[in-house]
Chain A
Amino acid sequence: MINRTRLFLYRLIFGLLLLGFWELSSGRLIDPFWVSSPSLVFVYLYGVIADGSIFGHLAITLYETFTGFFIGAIFGIGVGFALGRREMLAQILDPYVVAFNGIPRIALAPLFIIWFGIGPTSKFILVVSVVFFLTFFNTYAGVKGVDAELKNILRIMGASERQMLMKVTLPSIIPWITTGLKISLPYAIVAAVVGEFIAAGKGLGYLINYNTSLFSTTGALGGILVLAFVVVVCNEAINRAESYLLRWRPTEERKSEGELY
């Protein structure tokens, strides 16, 4: 088992090696017009952080992402939980859910702009449509996968429905829900950025699109790196929330999961 400091060190070395390879290959192996270089990207990032211009874009993208993420997650978890406990309803709605999930949301993005306007609303509705299905399917699978034997034992012991819900169902589905949230977060950011690509006056998607239009690979990669950083930070936040919610689990199990992800 690797301790946290060593793990951090290994990750840092890996990251530095990647950056080193990028820096050395830019201008030698690959035309910098296409890939820029880490040094140029960091100079760009320093500039936009120092003058504060990046923060307005970041705030808009985060607003669109998290508004959509929370609404989508609440609906996804709620509907997944409800359908998981109502077999009949789940069977009736199954073909519709499958059909709606099969629609490529990215292809819907231009339509969302037409329907909901060019402001943040169209972007967070796009995010909702992405997050909903990912959290829905995970929660639904979690509810369906609750150990029936455990529920029977509790029933024999005279537990009420509420007690079964609090002591068995909810703790069992939390790993499924957190997995759904973890998977959906990067997709939520992608959806917000795609919406901004199509029509927006601000946001990281707008910034990347703008720089790409001006052939500034450095600016575009700078925006992309900021996005990647946001994803890593958010993922870490969800990991911590998961650890907290699953604190009842045996320690060894939690540790091994933490190392894997």
Chain B
Amino acid sequence: MINLAITILSLGCLSLAHAQAPKKVKITIPVIAHSMTPVFLAQNKGFFADEKLEVDVTSTNGGGPDIRALIAGDVDFSFTTGDNVILAQQEGKKLVIVMTGLNRLFINWAMHKDVAKSKGVTESTPLAEKIKALKGLTVGVTNPGALTAHLAAFVVRKAGYNPQQDVNIIPVGSGPTWLAALENRKVDVALTAPPVPDTAISRGFAILLINNAKGEDPSIPEFLMENLIARPETVAKEGDTIRRMVRALTRANQWAGQNKAEQVADTLKPSMATIQPDLLLAGVQSVLPALSKDGRTSERSVQITQDILEQAGILKKRVAFSEIVTNDFLMK
């Protein structure tokens, strides 16, 4: 009898300990940049820990491997651009967007100062004229097949030009190679996520051509910029974990919205130590308006993202919103 009581007590203690142990979760991110603000804030402010989550964040140094690791089942989540979900679906791999972290296009265009001068373009020139000025220029994107490449093709077509005929679009890599290509006039214009264009501007060889982070292009009011993505099996079986992840990331975004940019920059510092303080702060100021307050993924953002992929000529068949998005795990 005593033995039985001890056994029951032991099992009870074990299950209690198990319930209190943080759940280990693996997540991939494509880059260490401002667009990852929700993840870094949730980590550094302890929102993941509050949800009893021990989140192992891996940066894959570029988009692609992050989402492939998710498809392969190596990680539980990926926090990356939603166009990946649409393209994976096209190739027969279903993924689900369970939350939107950034709902605005966070990719800015920079133009070399000499080109801007010769084209008579300034930062205050109307958008339509800026886009028209692209004719005959070479535009640098990060990688073939990257979001920057699709966006460049979309904007060029919108201006009535033909990509690769009227406007040359070439991949120049990211970070240092992107900067070198623009500085050395291997490309006239280039686009990527802040703070890289801001670095080109602060070094004095470029002007900000299109500031999408501030919503300069009205044809892209919303976008699947950074989303929490999971496999359908995880959605079916790990609802509680998804809810906790979504809660932590949403709290991070809400905290950022309620605090000053300086405080947000200070909190991001441990995760973005290599970025100069002034660029870190400038990037935070750019990213704050793009953070989703409730994590909801809108039909409009899916539609606009698909418009861009379709214009770029890589989307053969549009995907229904309900096939790739669920808002069921959002905070009530």
Contact = CB atoms under 8 A, between A and B. Distances in A.
Contacts of A119: 186
Contacts of A199: 170-173, 177, 181
Contacts of A211: 145
Most buried by A among B91, B177, B187: B177
A214 B145 contact: yes
Contact of A198 (B169, B170, B177): B177
Contacts of B314: 214
A184 B1 CA distance: 77
Interface in A201-216: 201, 206, 209-216
Interface in A39-64: none
Interface string B130-173: 00000000001001111000000000000000000000111111
B93 A213 contact: no
A113 to B, nearest CB: 5
Interface string A110-148: 100110011100000000000000000000000000000
B177 A33 contact: no
Nearest to A112: B177
B239 to A, nearest CB: 25
Contacts, number: 71
B175 to A, nearest CB: 9
Nearest to A215: B91
A217 B314 CA distance: 15
A118 B186 contact: yes
Nearest to B93: A33
Contacts of A114: 176-177, 180
A53 to B, nearest CB: 12
Interface string A207-234: 0011111111100000000000000000
Nearest to B177: A113
A183 interface: no
A117 B186 CA distance: 7
A200 interface: yes
- Secondary structure at the A interface, as helix, strand, loop or mixed, is helix
Contact of B87 (A32, A117, A118, A215): A215
Interface residues of B, number: 29
A211 B87 CA distance: 11
Interface string A17-43: 000000000000000111000000000
B137 to A, nearest CB: 14
A200 B171 contact: yes
Contacts of B181: 113, 117-118, 199
B170 A213 contact: no
Contacts of A118: 140, 170-173, 177, 181, 186-187
B95 to A, nearest CB: 11
A85 to B, nearest CB: 41
B270 to A, nearest CB: 26
A199 B145 CA distance: 12
Given A113-B180, A118-B181, A206 B93 contact: no
Interface in A67-120: 110, 113-114, 117-119
Given A114-B176, A214-B314, A209 B144 contact: yes
19 contacts: A34-B72, A110-B173, A110-B177, A113-B173, A118-B170, A118-B171, A119-B186, A199-B170, A199-B171, A199-B181, A201-B169, A201-B170, A206-B144, A209-B144, A213-B63, A213-B64, A213-B143, A214-B87, A214-B314
Interface of B: 63-64, 71-72, 87-88, 90-93, 140, 143-146, 168-173, 176-177, 180-181, 184, 186-187, 314
Closest 6 pairs between A and B when the two form their complex, measured CB to CB:
A213-B145, A201-B170, A210-B144, A114-B180, A199-B173, A215-B91
